[in-house]
Amino acid sequence: MQIFINDSAFEVPEKASAEQALVSFGATPPFALAVNGQFVAQGQYPQLMLQDGDRLDILAPIQGG
């Protein structure tokens, strides 16, 4: 199925978990995850089953003012 990671299309197997998607994408700590605009805590990654069309945002530290 197709999901979107940081606005780019990304293929994952049916019933993939958030954790599987993050590993496939190559997300490296430190980062935090939001799915469809909602924060997902680290401890929920293995249990969260993704749906076709889900939009994931993986955010990492940057400079800020």
Partner 1 sequence: MRDTLRIYGQEFNSRLLIGSALYPSPKCMQEAILASESEIVTVSLRRQNSQAAGDDFWQLIKDTGLTVLPNTAGCHSVQEVMTLAQMCREVFATDWIKLELIGDDYNLQPDPVALLEAAEQLLAEGFKVLPYCTDDLVICQRLAALGCEVIMPWAAPIGTGKGILNPYALQSIRERLPHVTLIVDAGLGVPSHACQAMELGADAVLLNSAIAGANDPVLMARAFANATLAGRQSYMAGPMAVKSTAVPSTPTLGMPVWHQFNE
14 binds partner 1 (CB under 8 A): no
Among the listed residues 9, 14, 37, 52, the single contact to partner 1 using CB under 8 A: 37
64 binds partner 1 (CB under 8 A): yes
Q: What is the DSSP letter of 29?
A: S
CB proximity list for 19: less than 8 A, separation 6 or greater: 45, 46, 48
Among the listed residues 18, 26, 46, 53, the single contact to partner 1 using CB under 8 A: 26
62 binds partner 1 (CB under 8 A): yes
